Amino acid sequence: MKWTLRSGERIPAMGFGTYQTQDTALLREAVRAGFRYFDTASFYGTEEVLGEALSGSGLGREEYLVATKLWKTEMGAERAREALENSLRRLGLEYVDFYLIHWPKPAPDAAGWEELDLETWAAMADLQREGKVRHIGVSNFLPHHLENLVKSGAPVPEVDQIEFHPGYLQRETLDYCRARGILPQAWSPLGRRRVLEHPAVAALAEKYGASPAQICLGFALEMGVMPLPKASSYERMRENLAAQELVLSPEDVENLAAMEQAGWSGEHPDRPRVRT
């Protein structure tokens, strides 16, 4: 299974998230398991270890995709360019496949965020034209953040990485992305593991003979969302990838979509974080 970007390029249906992953051997296990899309960020502090894992993986550069993100303090034309150079150095790469703005605002109450986003986005488009970035996108952007870019006539983001899992769908953002050919990606697709114990998820896991994690990942795929799960063992990695073969009934997908809020991280781009 693959996703087709608006540009026509096809990419893996599932990626590997590297947040809080500082083990080179574990990341090499992700390569061995079959992952070919790796998501990192300057904020994660995992770029260097990911670069080491990939450089020793035996894969050619054209055989894997790397996405990284610039942090809230790296927004603006000059800072964005400098941030990418630093990320490339840490990764040991000449280019990244995807470069994303991590959050739409430096702070929830930040004034002038619209202009800052546009300035940052223009710099990223320049970096794309220069060949240092193949695709540009955003993360945690809601419809009004995305519309700020779209209405300016700037390039439309190719991806928007948001928190998505049963119990937290962000439907308005999904609908906006679908209407404009933006591929939604899911961080925390397992709901910080809290969702895995939800009765609705557990019941479907029993029904389909699958793990609760596979139910969550299969749900994301059915909803047209690219999940970016983490895993701490080779067996879990293979299990997660196998979710691509799971076919949930439309009724079960709708029941999961109708779940009450569960597993939310407490993060929101326009509000202070809620401790959950």
Task: Please list the active-site residues.
Answer: 44
> How large is the C-alpha radius of gyration of the chain?
18
Amino acid identity, position 187: W
> How many whole angstroms from its chain centre is CA 270?
19
Provide the 10 A C-beta neighbour count for residue 200: 18
> How many whole angstroms from its chain centre is CA 200?
25
Provide the 10 A C-beta neighbour count for residue 251: 8
Q: Beta strand 37-39 with 65-70: parallel, antiparallel or unpaired?
A: parallel
Q: How far apart are CA 140 and CA 143, in angstroms?
A: 10
